[in-house]
Amino acid sequence: MFTGSQPDFTPTPPRSAPSPLSAGRLRIRRVELSRPFAWLRRGWGDLQRTPTASLAYGALFAAIGFAVLLLGDQHPRTAMAALSGFLLVGPLLAVGFYELSRRSAADEPVDAVMALTGLRRCWRPLAAYGVLLALFYFCWERLTVAILAFLLGSADLWDFVGLLREIFLSPHHPILAMAWILSGGVIAALCFLVSVITAPVLVDRGGRLADAVEASITAVSENVFPMLLWSGLIVALVLIGFATIMVGLVVIVPLLGHATWHAYRDLVE
């Protein structure tokens, strides 16, 4: 593995099509603990360079999140799983931001339509990646429904806020509530492990999903503490977006999407 200091910026070389990905050629850098903050700074720079397309995607994310909140009034258990799944499938949904950052660094034309069109060249491995994330989400959704049904008997009797209050503030079910949090944390950690740079690798290089997942796992194993900080920053920012009734996601999602691209560029030589 490659070790050593990295420059503050690693430009993406222009290319007309992604080069074939080879697991043997993907060398992972070890980065300093503070590097996630640099990724956010670079992500903010990309957002400023492509504000129209980035904020349009962000508004779409916010609209989806708000729709989930409205769903929660009638189906709180489903909404709980959907909000949790928002974090799990986010890396795939953010592929448009990766393409925007790639095009911006390569001085290629940038707009929302071009970003989506450019993804056609790697749609097969991205589709397989979507299936992988869907499996994680399905496990989490089923686990959420099972635990909450056992915890509350019938969670459909509660509105969404009441359900949250019962889970986290009620003195009657602390052990089961902790079991739900820990089980969800394990699933989220596994999802993060296999997805932290998988989609950016596929967007930039194409190739096989297995090779991209292997690169993601290696990146986390070689940079445990920076990756812990990065995951914490992601969760904290997304929770801020939730706390603003999804309005904050208009900016937060593009910021994280672009920053994830720079995390990939920093981690993969």
Which pLDDT band, with edges at 50, 70 and 90, does 205 fall under?
Answer: confident
Q: Output phi, psi for 171, to 5 deg.
A: -80, 0
Q: Would you give the distance in Å from CA 13 to the centre of its chain?
A: 24
Residue 45 falls inside a structural domain: yes
Please indicate, yes or no, if residue 162 is contained in any of the structural domains. yes
Query: Two tokens at 86?
Result: 């928002």
Per residue, the 3-state secondary structure of 36-60, as one string, reads HHHHHHHHHHHHHHCHHHHHHHHHH
Checking if the pLDDT of 193 tops 90, the result is: yes
In the predicted structure, residue 106 carries a pLDDT above the cut 90:
no
Residue of 132, 143, 173 whose CA lies nearest to 81:
143
84 or 204: which leads in pLDDT: 204
For the cut 80, the answer to whether the pLDDT of residue 81 exceeds it is: no
Is position 216 within any domain? yes
List pLDDT tens digits, range 243-252.
888 889 999 9
Q: Residue 226: inside a domain, yes or no? A: yes
Please give the model's pTM, rounded to 2 decimal places.
0.78
Confidence grade of residue 28 (pLDDT, cut at 50, 70, 90)? very high
Report which of 237, 240, 229 is spatially closest to residue 256, judged by C-alpha positions: 237
1-23 pLDDT per residue, tens: 444 444 444 444 444 344 444 44
Q: Confirm whether 110 is domain-assigned.
A: yes
On whether residue 150 sits in a domain, the answer given is yes
Work out the percent of the chain whose per-residue pLDDT is above 90: 32
Phi-psi region of 153 (alpha: psi -120 to 50; beta: other; left: phi over 0): left
- Write the DSSP symbol of residue 86: H
Total domain count, the chain = 1
Domain that holds residue 86: 31-267
Residue 44 placed within a domain: yes
Better-predicted residue by pLDDT, 181 or 76? 181
Sign of the dihedral defined by the CA atoms of residues 77, 79, 84, 88, in that order: positive
Flag whether 241 is in a domain: yes
% of residues, the chain, pLDDT over 70: 73
